[in-house]
Structure 1
Amino acid sequence: MEATEHDGEIVIDEVVDIEVYVREQKTVPLARAYRIRIDKPYYVVEVPKMTGRQILELAGKNPPEDYVLRQIIHGQPVKVEHNAVVDFRTPGVEKFKTMLKTAQDGTL
């Protein structure tokens, strides 16, 4: 595993699968890219943080306003607002789930 230093942090030169790191109870490092799971598919992103809107768009959920995003943290769903920033290195962030909004969600 190759590593470099950036702003005092070690950056590993590989794709980190956050689901595996959480399952193995390891701290997710700063990396070249991250493999995240949204619903069933996996996506590789080259940034450690994204907004809820960006995650929905990556998953092809357009328009994002029609969808609710939840991140699964230690097995529990937590709603992510569209403008909220999700840091993939946050301990316990496993994967993401999307749902089409319904009348109970207040818009459709």
Structure 2
Amino acid sequence: MNTHTVPGTPEAEVILEGRGASEVLVEVEVLQDHGHEVIVIDIVDIEECGRDNRPPPHAHRYKVKIDHNYFVFDRRVVTGREILERAGKIPVTKYELEKRMHGGHYVAVGLEEKVDLGQHGIEVFETFPLDETEG
């Protein structure tokens, strides 16, 4: 993905050149972290990053796919419980949550386990109802 600033606009606006011929104007924030510049974009699609096998950039919001629906989180780190609740899987104790990683392998996520949505390789989250003997 290439970026360049838009002439005549504030430095906080750049054009992202992604797949295909489309260009998207996005606002970014440049922060200092231990002497290094960190570019933070408004929203990142972690599924796209995971499928492309690239780490998601720092963002204010993270778009995630849970089962076949998209949801946005305003924090980079959330719990398995929060993911299930956002997906409407209530009561959360009746569901198993797994994250599908690049390459197709699945990793179980516990209810209180913290999930870094900026982790390299996450593609999607999938839920599975537990049968009456599980949980």
TM above 0.5: yes
User: How much is the aligned-residue C-alpha RMSD, in angstroms?
Assistant: 1.6
| Contact preservation (8 Å) 1:3, 1:13 | yes
User: What are the equivalent positions in structure 2 for 1:54-93 lying under 5 Å apart?
Assistant: 54-74=82-102, 75-93=104-122
Query: Number of matched residues?
Result: 106
Cα gap change, 1:6 to 1:82, in 2 (>3 Å): farther
Identity of aligned residues (%): 34
Q: TM-score, normalised to structure 2's length? A: 0.72
User: What are the equivalent positions in structure 2 for 1:1-108 lying under 5 Å apart?
Assistant: 1=14, 2-5=28-31, 7-8=33-34, 10-74=38-102, 75-103=104-132, 106-107=134-135
Specify every segment of 5 or more residues in structure 1 that has no aligned partner in the other structure, as ranges. none
Q: TM-score, normalised to structure 1's length? A: 0.88
**Which protein has the bigger helix share?**
1
Q: Which of structures 1 and 2 has the larger relative contact order (alpha carbons within 8 angstroms, sep 6+)?
A: 1
How far has the Cα of 1:23 moved from its partner? 1.8
How far has the Cα of 1:61 moved from its partner? 0.5
| Matched position secondary structure for 1:53 | helix
Deviations 1:63-104 (A, max 9, x none): 100110001012111111101001011111111000110145
Larger radius of gyration: 2
| Matched position secondary structure for 1:29 | coil
Q: Which runs of 4+ in 1 moved over 2 A?
A: 6-9
Specify every segment of 5 or more residues in structure 2 that has no aligned partner in the other structure, as ranges. 1-13, 15-27
